[in-house]
Amino acid sequence: MLAGPMLRLRISPQEEEFIHEITALRQAILKNDDRLVHEMLCQEIYKKVINCRGGWGLRGTPLHAAVSKGHLSCLQILLAHGALVDCENNKAQTPLFAAVRGKYLDCVLTLLRAGANPNGSASNNCSPVLTAAREGDVEILKELLKHGGDVNSRSKVFLLTSSGRVSSGPLYLAAVYGHMECFKLLLLYGADPDYNCTNARLLSSIKQPKTVLEMCLRHGCGVEYIQLLIDFGANVYLPTLIIEKSTKQNEAVELLLQERGNPKALTSQCRLAVRRYLKKINKIHCIDQLEMPTILINFLQHKPTPVAVL
């Protein structure tokens, strides 16, 4: 998946004037010399370039340089001296996106706590959530979602299949790459189990949009993925093309056909209704705070009910 378009950004007069200071600051950061970085930023001339882009090719700010190597102490010093947390490099990638891509959890947490947008830049083809889902990094994905990351598609890139283009939302990516824990986490945080996309314009641009169920069946994701989608309210009547012969897919298709022939239990319908309402008011992450018995909270979170020992 492409991370973003290479933007043709001209070097600003300030970047041209202070090229030596920008280079020196970047070198200190890349060497993880946090003491030197602090001393430099105490000088007015280096304060002027704290948000300037530098380097060759992928031109980024000092924050980008720090997170590209996972240098947490330098990152913290830069933020303390006023570095802009959501600055972009010349591919519209924010420091948070770079930290997620590098799998630096401590840097991700520091940036989120400093107010970084968990969805990155709207100009980037990809997003932090999409990247974490594709890489199967469940801890980073959880932090992004806790801080308001979008569980539904915002990608400008499509997956190419034998039947054409399909939306590449995080739920699709977690399924196709076999990341079960990320798949379940996305559903728990309210991912749309049908198209993993709430953008009608994006869906209308695809000739025959494929549901997550269809993609799971096509890629042989197994019964556990199908069961989760059913449990989280996927429309089992949407898949229209099921022509596969593997044992895994036969079991998954059989489960799907059984679900089509049997109505959901009233308890499951109630759980779905409560979760949809909480998602609507943007409180799906607050289930733990509801004033109700633990057994009901666990039920809403799809946690198994403990068996009483007699």
| Claim to verify: residue 156 and residue 273 sit in the same structural domain | yes
| Claim to verify: residue 106 and residue 165 sit in the same structural domain | no
The per-residue pLDDT string of the chain (310 residues; one tens digit each, 9 = 90 and over) reads 444 444 444 566 666 677 899 999 999 999 999 999 999 999 999 999 999 988 666 789 999 999 999 999 999 999 999 999 999 998 999 999 999 999 999 999 999 999 999 999 988 888 999 999 999 999 999 999 999 999 997 766 555 444 445 557 899 999 999 999 999 999 999 999 998 887 777 777 777 778 899 888 888 888 999 999 999 999 988 766 554 554 456 788 888 888 888 888 899 999 999 999 999 998 998 999 999 999 999 999 998 876 555 5
| Claim to verify: residue 111 and residue 8 sit in the same structural domain | yes
| Claim to verify: residue 112 and residue 186 sit in the same structural domain | no
Q: In the prediction, which pLDDT does 295 show?
A: 93
| Claim to verify: residue 167 and residue 266 sit in the same structural domain | yes
Is residue 98 a part of any domain in this protein? Answer: yes
Give the residues across from 130 on adjacent strands: none
Is residue 35 a part of any domain in this protein? Answer: yes
Is residue 308 a part of any domain in this protein? Answer: no
| Claim to verify: residue 158 and residue 248 sit in the same structural domain | yes
pTM confidence score: 0.86
Cα(142)–Cα(144) distance, rounded to whole angstroms? 5
| Claim to verify: residue 161 and residue 115 sit in the same structural domain | no
Is residue 307 a part of any domain in this protein? Answer: no
| Claim to verify: residue 46 and residue 114 sit in the same structural domain | yes
Q: Which residues of 52-76 are buried (b: 16+ CB within 10 A; e: fewer)?
A: bbbbeeebbbbbbbbbbbbbbebbb
Question: Which of 112, 127, 142 marks a domain boundary?
Answer: 127
Is residue 310 a part of any domain in this protein? Answer: no
CA 239 vs CA 169, 208, 211, 217, 257: distances in Å: 18, 11, 7, 9, 11
Crossing angle for the helix pair 34-41 and 72-80, nearest 10 degrees? Answer: 10
| Claim to verify: residue 164 and residue 118 sit in the same structural domain | no
Domain that holds residue 185: 151-282
Q: How many domains does the chain have?
A: 2
| Claim to verify: residue 121 and residue 180 sit in the same structural domain | no
Is residue 273 a part of any domain in this protein? Answer: yes
Q: In the prediction, which pLDDT does 156 show?
A: 63
CATH of the domain at 165: 1.25.40.20
Is residue 142 a part of any domain in this protein? Answer: no
Question: Which of 111, 127, 143 marks a domain boundary?
Answer: 127
Is residue 48 a part of any domain in this protein? Answer: yes
